[in-house]
C-alpha cells in the first residue's frame, strides 16, 4: 500500500518518509448503574514527511486517492520551513518487543461488559460505584522511507478505570498494560476502599515528612523532570538542566528510559521515525547523562537521535517523548509522615524553577483522612534531598518506589 505513494513522493523531493497507522478499539462503560452500549471504533491515516534542499515538510491524509494533494502540500511546507541541513534517518534493524497481545484483538463485547460489571461489584463492597470503563485497543504502525527505512509492528493496549463514592468522598483507581490482565476486581475494590478511606477528611496545617504515591510522582515527573530532559528545550535554553550535562542534578538514583520492558505501555521496537529504541540511563546516580532527542532536534543540536521521536497520530509530525521510565535508587529510607495519594493543579507548577503549590485531594496523616489543604515545595529540592522507600510499583509509564521529603502543608 505505501510503496506506490512513497515512489510518487520521491519524484517531488530529495527524501521522503511515509508513516501509516491503523487502530481498532472496543470500549465498555457503566455510569451510575447504567450500562452503556459497547462502542467500537476504527481509525487509519498517513503522515508524510519530505525533505527538499535540507528543509523538512509535513502533511497527512486518510485516503490513498488524496496522496497527490498531500505530497504537494508537504513540498510546499518544506519550502517554508526554517529547519536547514536536515536528513531523514537511514536503514536500521530492530529487536522484537513484547507489545502485542492477540487476546486483546480477540476480546468481544460480552467479555468487556463482564469486566465492567465485576469492577462495579467490587467497588460496591465499600462504596457506591460511580463509573467503570474498560478499553481494548490494538493497531499497526508501518514506516518506510527513500533512505531504506522499513519498520512495521503491531501494538495493543488494555486499560481499566473505576470510580467510587462514599458520602462526600471519591476514590478512583486505574490500570494499563499492553497485555490483557485479570484486574477488574482489584481495580474496582481499590476505588471503593479509597472512597471509604476519605470519609470525614478535613484540612490540616502540617510541617514534616510527606510520602508520595507513585501516581503523584508520575505527575510531578511528567510536568517537570521529563520536560527538563527534553533535548529541544535544552537546546533553546528553556530547560533547567540545559547546561548541566555530566553534572549532579538529583539525589543518588538512576532514571532509565526503557522501551524493552515486557508489556510496558511505552514498549516498542522503534519510534515513529523508524529509529530503533534502546534502554538508556538519562540520569545515573544523580548525574545527568543525556537528553531525549528526535532526529530533527538531534540535527539542530549536533547530537544523536535517541529513538524518542513519537507522533500523536498521522496528523502530527514527530516530537520528543519518553517511553517507560524506571527509577532505581541507590538506597532507601523509611518513609512515614503524611501519605499523599492524590493532588490537583499540576498545570500550575513552574516547570523551570520547580516551585509548586498543589491542592491535596486524598492523603492520610496519623491514620486520619486529609483533604482541602495545600502542599507547597520545590520539585528539584525534593529530588535532591528526598528518600525513596516502600515497594517498587509500575503505574502507567512509570516504575518507581514511593518518595518521601520534608514539606509544608497549609490548611485552607
* Tens of pLDDT, residues 86-120: 999 999 999 999 999 999 999 999 999 999 999 99
pLDDT for residue 203: 96
pLDDT for residue 88: 95
What is the domain partition of the chain in residue ranges?
Answer: 2-196, 201-412
Mean pLDDT, residues 205-220 taken together? 96
pLDDT for residue 318: 95
Mean pLDDT, residues 218-224 taken together? 90
Question: Is 206 a residue whose pLDDT tops 90?
Answer: yes
Closest CA to 292 of 252, 245, 251, 346: 245
Question: Is 59 a residue whose pLDDT tops 90?
Answer: yes
Helices (H) and strands (E) in the chain, counts: 9, 20
Mean pLDDT, residues 377-406 taken together? 95
Question: Is 331 a residue whose pLDDT tops 90?
Answer: no
pLDDT per residue over 117-150, tens digit each? 999 999 999 999 999 999 999 999 999 999 999 9
Mean pLDDT, residues 266-291 taken together? 97
Question: Is 9 a residue whose pLDDT tops 90?
Answer: yes
CA distance 332 to 193: 28
Query: Percent of the chain having pLDDT more than 90?
Result: 90
State the cell numbers at 26. 472496543
Instruction: Give the confidence band of 34 by pLDDT, cuts at 50, 70, 90.
Output: confident
Query: Percent of the chain having pLDDT more than 70?
Result: 100
Average pLDDT of the residues of the chain = 95
Question: Is 33 a residue whose pLDDT tops 90?
Answer: no
State the cell numbers at 306. 535517541
* Between 2 and 243, the higher pLDDT residue: 243
Number of Cα atoms under 13 Å in the Cβ half of residue 319: 9
State the cell numbers at 189. 475494590
CA distance 374 to 370: 11
Q: What is the pTM of this model?
A: 0.94
pLDDT for residue 122: 97
Question: Is 37 a residue whose pLDDT tops 90?
Answer: no
CA distance 276 to 308: 9
Mean pLDDT, residues 215-219 taken together? 95
CATH superfamily of 2-196: PmbA/TldD superfamily (3.30.2290.10)
Radius of gyration of the chain (CA): 23
Question: Is 84 a residue whose pLDDT tops 80?
Answer: no
Answer yes or no: are the C-beta atoms of 265 and 397 closer than 8 Å.
yes
Mean pLDDT, residues 256-279 taken together? 97
C-alpha torsion sign, points 188, 193, 194, 200: positive
- Burial of 102 from C-beta contacts in 10 A (0-12 / 13-18 / 19+): exposed
pLDDT per residue over 164-191, tens digit each? 999 999 999 999 999 999 999 999 999 9
CA distance 105 to 157: 10
Residue position matching grid coordinates 516551585: 355
Answer yes or no: are the C-beta atoms of 3 and 16 closer than 8 Å.
no
Question: Is 196 a residue whose pLDDT tops 90?
Answer: yes
pLDDT for residue 83: 72
Question: Is 42 a residue whose pLDDT tops 80?
Answer: yes
Closest CA to 154 of 236, 96, 71: 96
CA distance 111 to 345: 36
Q: How many CB atoms lie within 10 A of CB 285?
A: 15
Q: Which residues contact 81 (CB under 8 A, 6 or more apart)?
A: 55, 56, 57
State the cell numbers at 370. 486529609
C-alpha dist (Å) from residue 102 to 22, 99, 167, 176, 178? 16, 10, 41, 16, 10
Amino acid at each position: 500500500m505505501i510503496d506506490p505513494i512513497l515512489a510518487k513522493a520521491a519524484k517531488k523531493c530529495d527524501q521522503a518518509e511515509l508513516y501509516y497507522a491503523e487502530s481498532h478499539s472496543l470500549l465498555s462503560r457503566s455510569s451510575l448503574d447504567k450500562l452503556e452500549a459497547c462502542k467500537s471504533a476504527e481509525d487509519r491515516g498517513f503522515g508524510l514527511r519530505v525533505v527538499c534542499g535540507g528543509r523538512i515538510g509535513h502533511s497527512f491524509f486518510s485516503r490513498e486517492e488524496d496522496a497527490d494533494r498531500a505530497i504537494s502540500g508537504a513540498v510546499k511546507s518544506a519550502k517554508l520551513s526554517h529547519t536547514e541541513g536536515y536528513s531523514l534517518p537511514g536503514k536500521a534493524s530492530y529487536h522484537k518487543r513484547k507489545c502485542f497481545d492477540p487476546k486483546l484483538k480477540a476480546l468481544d463485547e460480552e467479555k468487556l461488559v463482564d469486566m465492567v460489571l465485576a469492577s462495579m461489584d467490587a467497588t460496591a463492597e465499600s462504596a457506591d460505584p460511580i463509573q467503570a470503563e474498560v478499553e481494548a485497543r490494538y493497531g499497526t504502525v508501518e514506516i518506510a522511507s527513500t533512505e531504506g527505512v522499513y519498520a512495521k509492528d503491531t501494538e495493543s493496549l488494555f486499560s481499566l478505570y473505576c470510580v467510587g463514592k462514599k458520602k462526600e468522598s471519591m476514590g478512583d483507581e486505574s490500570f494499563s498494560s499492553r497485555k490483557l490482565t485479570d484486574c477488574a476486581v482489584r481495580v474496582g475494590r481499590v476505588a471503593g476502599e479509597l472512597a471509604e478511606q476519605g470519609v470525614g477528611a478535613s484540612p490540616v496545617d502540617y510541617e514534616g515528612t510527606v510520602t508520595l504515591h507513585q501516581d503523584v510522582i508520575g505527575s510531578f515527573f511528567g510536568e517537570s523532570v521529563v520536560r527538563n530532559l527534553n533535548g529541544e528545550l535544552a537546546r533553546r535554553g528553556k530547560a533547567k538542566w540545559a547546561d548541566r550535562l555530566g553534572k549532579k542534578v538529583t539525589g543518588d538514583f538512576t532514571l532509565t528510559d526503557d522501551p524493552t520492558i515486557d508489556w510496558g505501555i511505552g514498549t516498542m521496537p522503534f519510534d515513529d521515525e523508524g529509529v530503533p529504541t534502546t534502554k538508556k540511563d538519562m540520569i545515573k546516580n544523580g548525574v545527568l547523562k543525556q537528553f531525549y532527542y528526535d532526529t530533527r532536534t538531534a540535527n539542530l543540536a549536533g547530537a544523536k537521535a535517541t529513538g524518542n521521536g513519537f507522533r500523536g497520530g498521522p496528523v502530527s509530525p514527530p516530537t520528543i517523548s519518553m517511553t517507560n521510565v524506571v527509577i532505581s535508587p541507590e538506597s532507601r529510607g523509611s518513609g512515614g509522615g503524611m501519605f499523599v495519594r492524590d493532588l490537583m493543579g499540576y498545570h500550575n507548577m513552574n516547570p523551570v524553577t520547580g516551585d509548586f503549590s498543589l491542592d491535596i485531594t486524598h492523603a492520610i496523616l496519623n491514620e486520619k483522612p486529609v483533604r482541602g489543604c495545600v502542599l507547597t515545595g520545590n520539585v528539584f529540592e525534593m529530588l535532591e534531598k528526598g528518600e525513596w522507600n516502600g515497594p517498587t510499583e509500575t503505574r502507567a509509564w512509570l516504575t518507581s518506589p514511593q518518595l518521601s521529603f520534608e514539606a509544608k502543608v497549609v490548611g485552607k
